[in-house]
Amino acid sequence: MSAYYEFFSQALEMVVALAAAPLLTGWVNQCRSWLQNKTAPSLFQPHRMLHKLFTKEAVIAETASPLFRLEPYIIFGCMTLACGIIPTLSTSLPLSPAADAIALVGLLALGRVFLALAAMDIGTAFGTLGARREMFVAFLAEPALLMVLFSVSLITRSTSLTAIVYDLTHRPLAIYPSLAFAGIAFTMVLLAENARIPVDNPATHLELTMIHEAMILEHSGRNLALMEWSASLKLYAYLCLGITIFFPWGIPDTGHPFGLILALPILAAKLAVGGILIALIETASAKLRIFRVPEFLAMAFLLAVVGMLVHFLLGA
Amino acid sequence: MADLRLMDCIFGVAVGWLAIGICGLLLIRHTRFVARVLFPLSALVGCVLGFAGIVSTFGQIQTSLLPIGLPNLPFHVRIDNLSSYFLFVQGIVTTGVSLFSAGYFSREEDTPAGLICLEYHLCIASIVLLLIADDAYAFLFAWEIMSLTATALVVAHHKDPEVRYAGYLYFLIAHIGAFCLLFCFGLLGINTDDYAFASIRLQRPDLMVGSFIFFLALFGFGAKAGFLPLHIWLPEAHPAAPSPISALMSAFILKTGIYGILRVSLDLLPIQVWWWGGIALAIGLATALFGVVLSAVQTDMKRLLAYSSIENIGLILAGIGLSILFKAYGMYALAALSLTAALFHVASHAAFKSLLFVGTGSVLHSTGERNLGRLGGLMRFMPWTAWAALIGSLAASGLPPLGGFVSEWLLLQSFLLTPGLPNSFLNMLIPIATATIVLVGALAAYVMVKFFGVIYLGQPREQKLNDAHDAGVWERIGFSWLVIACVGLGLFPVHVVQALDRVTHLLLGDGIGNAVAASGWLQLVPDTSERASYMPVVFLVVLLACCIVAYLLVRHVYHVKTRRSGPWACGFPIMNARMQDTAEGFGQPIRHVFGPFFRMERTLPSAFDKKPVYKIKIEDPLWAWFYRPIAAITEFVSSIVGLIQQRRIAVYLLYTFLTLMFLLLVINQ
């Protein structure tokens, strides 16, 4: 019976991610509007947006290669799988032995490489600009993320995400100095990787500042819908990853129905708090010049390395 | 009986390649015959070698004596697990490259195809001899044949002075390396009478001699493999050579250096000291970082790949260094894990780099351009080449579920599983080494996006690219073979790791085969499945399932039309191919961040120029830091020595007389 529960919780996790990811984006937008004294759009605005885009005709550039048409599905698949790998509702997941933390980072990188390649495919100035900047941000953000995950896996002696959650929730509460550094680094990476202020601004189409928007300029209709959905899935995945490694308490050990029912509201509460924090950071900070971004990310990388060093120095 | 046949089989392969080479020489004018018959035949022989290699990796050690060589000093040969593994990799790669060559060399070029056929087969046959050599004499003999034939192959387009210069540089550095190897083996066999590896293994050199041997080997083999600062020939020789030759060099000739280091440091030397490993690790990491940063700013596609090879060789050396470090501290299981990672990377790098290099060969043949600034948009004209190169680029970026990711994953696992070394200083270096490796991995993705994006995507930057034609049938077969190798290594790493278990058992006395075998063929587990596990097949299947379900849902729920139109480009009316990022533009952020890594000369146009010119020249800093000073010192010394050369016979007679007087004086005392 328990195998069924495991598969059920795995499927549930992915379905919840698909449904909740646009909701999370809506929530962050709502919080941001409130903080900026604006009238907030509805929580379901991203869902409506997706529906609108899906029903529109897709216009594809004549110069596009088949890669461009495949790419939205590939990225969507990558992000869905990423949400399936990260344990949010249960720690006994069938996919957990298939991919550990390093494979998760590899999966996110796979999505990013396809995104950048598709942006270069049309051959417009904006697309290549966006691709270059995206890879530029990524080459520092990705190692920083890996180092954050390594700091945690050195504590729990495992790179498997479910084992990390299991271990952290079953050991006595203690303060790990290395995790403090890792936490700051992770927040910085989260902002950079999800095209948020101070690295990128998801709300503008301004050629001097845009990164993510520049890459998806040529997408329209269902392709754009998939890209937007993937972007919100990515934000969801990062927030869940943060929850997994820094606040894992409340994720049940088994796929037992009762545990699942309890896990859902806990997850929602954590995500809501995370969303508020993102909105706060975005409101309180200003966008960086593009050449200040490497300093920001190098800082995140260094903090993550220091976190790991601290672990080796203090043994915690 | 079966074991005997395996040895014969490998001899047969070497002899077969030799025979094919000689056939090529005899039929030197029959270009089409050489290309269409001899190269496919050679691929078939390569297939046999790959098969024999993998079978003998699981088999017993076999030794034999060859009735050739010096009088009283016949060639000793031995096939053990290490050489079998390298033979396997060589067989797989050579098959792909030979298949591609069947298409590539079917046109008359500067060097007749028959001659290339001879040099190529001599080279790969000498590598077989090198890998099975069991005495220093046979080893160095094969090593020299390999260097000579490789030089001849590099200068195939000998009418170009740049190519000749590249060949010269390669030859020079290969021989500085060979010179060190001579000393290295001399020291190793100093107390033996036949220089056979079997008697060398019985020697017990002390720490001092051992260190000399290790560093001579590191230097000598490093010259072939391309470690910092001996990498300087790589970015010259790879663009100069015909593409299949670059593929062979990058995929396999570099790896013979790795083989040599493993053979000397872990097999022939009975002792390992921790700081040897530490230094090898540091050199490896420096090489990897340097290689990847320089490859990000290249504008020549083959030079870019050459620097990327330097990066990968650096990663392999880092794995070997880590393994020596662990072995010196008696942590055999971890040593086995990091050695497995390094050896796995030998195979995966061989597969994806030969794929990328042969891809550049097709681009070069169909467009005549190597400069990234004049390429672009080739995916529409050369779909086969482009999709093959895409797989190669993804593997080179270290992305799951392809081959490059597995080796990176294993290497990172060996860092993460470290329970703590007894040396607290080294313990602090572990995070820094890990950080370097992940940084190199992320930069490799940057480089590969640049490589693939600028060549194959976007709009053609030149008019003539619109006439580009796709690769021919044989070239496509070659691509397919190498693509299968890349994907196969990525999806079924467990089988390769089990073969590597035998190699690590031979070299270190431990392996990760038991942990891997316990979890089945689907799951790669370096230690226990609680600590880390990776299932590439499941990963790929679920990923594809997600993509396909998304596609089907979108298609059935929202079935709306697709329209083709011009690119939108934010509504800007004039957009042309020149507005895309060039290779320089794409590398610019890296140039900005890693400024100290290069020597850069730049002329910027002013706002008032009638014809603005932007010029940038990026040079490998090692020329200025290392090579030019050495050249200057050499010239200075030779000018001083030149003072005593007076070009008159009387002066030389005087020198002889003085020397004689001096010697008599010494003797009388």
CA distances (Å), origin B585, targets A125, B255, B517, B578? 11, 33, 48, 12
Q: Give the gap in angstroms from C-alpha B401 to the nearest C-alpha of chain A.
A: 9
The mean pLDDT of B632-646, rounded to a whole number, is 89
* Whether the predicted pLDDT of B603 surpasses 50: yes
Break chain B down into helix, strand, coil percent, rounded to 5.
75, 5, 20
pLDDT(B547) > 60:
yes
In a domain, A6, yes or no: yes
Rounded mean pLDDT, B604-623: 86
Q: Is A32 within a domain?
A: yes
Evaluate if residue B224 carries a pLDDT over 60.
Answer: yes
Mean pLDDT of B56-70: 83
CB A101 within 8 A of CB A153: yes
pLDDT of residue B8: 86
Q: Please state, rounded to an integer, the average pLDDT across all residues of chain A.
A: 90
What is the domain range of residue A160?
A: 2-142+156-170+201-285
- Whether the pLDDT of residue B575 is over 80: the answer is no
Query: What are the tens digits of pLDDT across the range B514-539?
Result: 888 888 888 888 888 788 889 999 99
Question: Model pTM?
Answer: 0.94
Subunit contact A124:B567, Cβ cutoff 8 A: yes
Show which of residues 13-52 on chain A sit within 8 Å of chain B, judged by CB atoms.
none
Give the residue among A32, A53, A88 at the shortest CA–CA distance from A242.
A88
Residues 121-160 of B with CB under 8 A from A: none
Mean pLDDT, range A156-173, rounded to an integer:
88
Residues of B in Cβ contact (< 8 Å) with A77: 543-547, 550
CB contact under 8 A, A67 and B376: no
DSSP-derived secondary structure for chain A = -HHHHHHHHHHHHHHHHHHHHHHHHHHHHHHHHHHTT-PPPPTTHHHHHHHHHHTSPEEEETT--HHHHHHHHHHHHHHHHHHHHS-SS-S--TTTTT--HHHHHHHHHHHHHHHHHHHHHS--HHHHHHHHHHHHHHHHHHHHHHHHHHHHHHHHT---HHHHHHHHHTS-----HHHHHHHHHHHHHHHHHTT-TTT--TT---TTT-SHHHHTTT--HHHHHHHHHHHHHHHHHHHHHHHHHH--TT--SS--HHHHHHHHHHHHHHHHHHHHHHHHHHHHS-PPPGGGHHHHHHHHHHHHHHHHHHHHHH--
Q: Which of the residues B432, B449, B535 would you substitute to probe the A interface, choosing the one with the greatest number of A C-beta atoms within 10 Å?
A: B449
* Residue B303, Ramachandran bin (φ over 0: left; ψ between -120 and 50: alpha; else beta): alpha
**What does the angle CA A77 – CA A80 – CA A84 come to, to the nearest 5 degrees?**
130
pLDDT at B19 over 80: yes
What are residue B135's DSSP bridge partners? Answer: B196
Interchain CB distance below 8 Å, A226 and B550: yes
The question of ipTM being above 0.85 is answered as: yes
State whether residue B619 is helix, strand or coil: strand
Chain A residues with CB under 8 Å of B558 CB are 54-55, 222
> Does the distance separating the beta carbons of A103 and B539 come in below 8 Å?
yes
pLDDT in tens, A87-130: 998 888 888 889 999 999 999 999 999 999 999 998 888 888 89
Written as six digits, the tokens of B495 are 């089988």
B134 and B63 Cβ atoms separated by less than 8 Å = yes
Percent of chain B with pLDDT over 90: 60
Domain membership flag for residue A73: yes
DSSP string, A275-294: HHHHHHHHHHS-PPPGGGHH
Contact of B395 with chain A, judged by CB distance below 8 Å, is answered with no
- Is the per-residue pLDDT at A210 higher than 90? no
List, in order, residues 6 or more apart from B74 with CB less than 8 Å away: B65, B66, B67, B68
Q: What count of CB pairs under 8 Å joins A to B?
A: 273
Contact B558 A308 (CB under 8 A): no
Backbone angles phi and psi of A59, in degrees to 5: -105, 125
Chain B residues with beta carbon closer than 8 angstroms to that of A135: 445-446, 449-450
Please indicate if any CB of chain A lies within 8 Å of the CB of B40.
no
Lowest mean pLDDT among A62-71, B257-266, B575-584: B575-584
Instruction: Answer yes or no: is pLDDT of B208 > 60.
Output: yes
The per-residue pLDDT for B431 is 86
Query: Please, which residues have CB within 8 angstroms of residue A145's CB and are 6 or more apart in sequence?
Result: A105, A108, A186, A189, A193, A304
Q: What is the pLDDT of residue B419?
A: 67
Tokens at A256, concatenated: 């037992």
A40 assigned to some structural domain: yes
Task: Give the per-residue pLDDT at A316.
Answer: 53
| Statement: residue B412 has pLDDT above 60 | yes
Is A9 part of a structural domain of the chain? Answer: yes
Token couple for B386: 């482009």
Burial B565-578 (b: 16+ CB within 10 A, else e): eebbbbeeeebebe
B28's tokens: 């030197």
Q: Which of A112, A37, A11 is nearest to A71 (CA)?
A: A112
Tell me whether residues B547 and A73 touch, CB distance under 8 A.
yes
Phi/psi for A61 (5° steps) reads: -65, 150
Partner-chain residue, chosen from B459, B532, B548, that has the shortest CB–CB distance to A63: B459
Match 């990327």 to its residue by tokens. B308
User: Average pLDDT of B419-447?
Assistant: 87
Does residue B405 register a pLDDT over 60? yes
- Which residues on chain A are in Cβ contact (under 8 Å) with B579? 124-125
pLDDT value at residue B636: 94
Share of chain B above pLDDT 70, in %: 99
Residues 274-313 of A with CB under 8 A from B: 291, 294, 301, 304-305, 308-309, 311-313
In a domain, A160, yes or no: yes
Within 10 Å of residue B422's Cβ, how many Cβ atoms? 10
Give the integer Cα–Cα distance in Å for B239 and B236: 6
Residues of B in contact with A81 (CB under 8 A): 539, 542-543, 546
Q: Which of B114-123, B400-409, B414-423 has the lowest mean pLDDT?
A: B414-423
pLDDT at A255 exceeding the cut of 70: no
Among the partner-chain residues A60, A120, A159, the one whose CB lies closest to the CB of B532 is A159
Paired strand residues for B602: B616
Q: Kindly report whether the peptide bond that precedes residue B493 is cis, defined as omega within 30 degrees of 0.
A: no
Q: Which two tokens stand for residue B469?
A: 């034609």
Name every residue whose Cβ is closer than 8 Å to that of residue A175 and which is 6 or more positions away in sequence.
Answer: none
Tokens representing residue B479 in the block: 């691509």
Q: How confident is the model at residue B1 (pLDDT cuts 50, 70, 90)?
A: very low
**B580–A113 CB contact, under 8 Å:** no
Q: Do the chains contact at A62 and B439, CB–CB below 8 Å?
A: no
Is B321 a residue whose pLDDT tops 80?
yes
What tokens were used for B392? 């190669």
Using CB atoms, pick whichever of A77, A126, A153 lies closest to residue B569: A126
Model confidence at B2: pLDDT above 60? no
Nearest to A65 among B420, B439, B457 (CB): B457
Q: Return the closest-CA partner of residue B444 out of B365, B348, B535, B524.
A: B348
At B479 the three-state DSSP class reads helix
Q: Do A124 and B542 touch (CB under 8 A)?
A: no
Say whether B125 sits in a helix, a strand or coil.
helix
Mean pLDDT of B132-160: 93
Answer yes or no: do B377 and A63 touch at CB < 8 A: yes
Residue B4 confidence (pLDDT): 58
Q: Which residue of B has its CA nearest to A304?
A: B435
Report residue A206's pLDDT band, with 50, 70 and 90 as the boundaries: low
Contacts of residue B661, Cβ cutoff 8 Å, sequence gap at least 6? none
Exposed, middle or buried by CB within 10 Å (0-12, 13-18, 19+), for A199? buried
Asked if B356 and B441 count as a contact pair (C-beta separation under 8 A), the reply is no
For residue B394, name the pLDDT band (cuts at 50, 70, 90): very high
